């Protein structure tokens, strides 16, 4: 997979050299390129924002630097032989990003992340971009970040770990929270008694059938109490 990231803070993405994602890049499973939006400006101050039409607080990102940056990455991807690129625009007014979103994006050959700042990007850019990309406006949840950079890092981690070969043991992808609409069951390691607290007896029994049943019951109990929204969806589907 190839990922292009466009941002006015390219240094934000230095952390993508670390850990599993860093290793995946090293192994050639994942290619990530970061672009400075300001390289697409033509004025002396490298201006990317301007005041909003209609008035109001804050600034809006100008459309032209975005169009140039997006054209450049789309045309480069096409030149390299990738299929239609998918453009992900992190925004609190997007659709909520969840595990199925990560799984769908993990199947794409070419992803582009457009990190907005300030009050957002001129709305006309989104419809314009539909001519070159499949466009996804995506939110991490109901809270506000200062820009798309941190959201992009979170999404790249969620997507990247689903690419075959990135996570060492593929079985760990199957058992974790959200892979089946349930939160993950509680886990324990040695010692069996720690500061007066015991590991649940069933986990020491060696009876795999009983262990599986206990884990499922724990996952269900947890989902019911911590995430009644997920629990309801699961019951409605059943
Ligand atoms: Cl994707 N972007 C921003 N700026 N804020 C957010 C978000 C995204 N998701 C939740 N809050």
What mean pLDDT comes out for the span 15-23? 96
Q: Looking at residue 191, what is its pLDDT?
A: 98
Whether the Cβ atoms of residue 20 and residue 161 lie closer than 8 Å to each other: yes
Model confidence at 171, in pLDDT bands (50, 70, 90)? confident
CA dihedral 206, 208, 210, 215 (to 10 degrees): 110
For 108-156, the pLDDT digits (tens) are: 999 999 999 879 999 999 999 999 999 999 999 999 999 999 999 999 9
What phi-psi label fits residue 161: left (phi over 0), alpha (psi between -120 and 50 degrees) or beta? alpha
Q: Looking at residue 159, what is its pLDDT?
A: 98
Q: Looking at residue 41, what is its pLDDT?
A: 98
User: 183, exposed or middle or buried, with CB in 10 Å at 0-12, 13-18, 19+?
Assistant: buried
User: 168, exposed or middle or buried, with CB in 10 Å at 0-12, 13-18, 19+?
Assistant: exposed
Is 204 within any annotated ligand binding site? no
CA dihedral 82, 1, 164, 156 (to 10 degrees): -140
Q: Looking at residue 52, what is its pLDDT?
A: 97
pLDDT at 168 over 90: no
Q: What is the pTM of this model?
A: 0.95
Is 140 within any annotated ligand binding site? yes
pLDDT at 161 over 80: yes
Q: 118 vs 10, which has greater pLDDT? A: 10
> In whole angstroms, what is the distance from residue 19 CA to residue 225 CA?
33
Ligand 1: lining residues by beta carbon, under 6 Å: 90-92, 138-141, 143-145, 147-148, 151
144 CA distance to ligand 1 middle (Å) = 5
What mean pLDDT comes out for the span 182-203? 98
For 25-79, the pLDDT digits (tens) are: 999 999 999 999 999 999 999 999 999 999 999 999 999 999 999 999 999 999 9
127 CA distance to ligand 1 middle (Å) = 20
Q: Pick from 151, 152, 153, 158 the residue to mutate for probing ligand 1's pocket: most ligand atoms within 8 Å of its CB.
A: 151
Non-local (6+) Cβ contacts of 117 within 8 A are 8, 49, 61, 146, 147, 148
Q: Looking at residue 170, what is its pLDDT?
A: 85
Bridge partners of 60, per DSSP, are 50
β-bridge pairing 110-114 and 197-198: unpaired
Is 141 within any annotated ligand binding site? yes
Whether the Cβ atoms of residue 12 and residue 40 lie closer than 8 Å to each other: no
């Amino acid at each position: 997979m190839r990922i292009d990231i466009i941002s006015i803070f390219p240094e934000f993405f230095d952390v993508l050299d670390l850990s599993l994602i860093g290793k995946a890049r090293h192994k050639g499973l994942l290619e990530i390129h970061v672009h400075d939006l300001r390289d697409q400006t033509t004025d002396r101050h490298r201006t990317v924002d301007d005041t909003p039409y209609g008035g109001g607080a804050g600034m809006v990102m100008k459309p032209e630097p975005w169009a140039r940056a997006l054209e450049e990455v789309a045309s480069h991807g096409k030149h390299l032989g990738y299929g239609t690129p998918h453009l992900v625009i992190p925004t609190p007014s997007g659709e909520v990003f969840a595990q199925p979103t990560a799984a769908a994006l993990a199947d794409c050959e070419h992803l582009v992340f457009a990190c907005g700042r300030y009050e957002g990007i001129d709305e006309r850019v989104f419809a314009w971009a539909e001519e070159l990309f499949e466009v996804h406006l995506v939110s991490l949840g109901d809270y506000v970040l200062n820009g798309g950079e941190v959201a992009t890092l979170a999404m790249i981690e969620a997507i990247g770990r689903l690419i075959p070969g990135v996570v060492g043991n593929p079985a760990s992808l199957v058992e974790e929270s959200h892979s089946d609409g349930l939160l993950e069951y509680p886990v324990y390691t040695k010692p069996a008694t720690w500061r007066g607290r015991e590991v649940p007896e069933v986990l020491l029994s060696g009876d795999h059938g009983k262990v599986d049943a206990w884990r499922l019951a724990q996952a269900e109990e947890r989902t019911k109490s911590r995430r009644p929204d997920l629990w309801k969806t699961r019951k409605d589907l059943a």
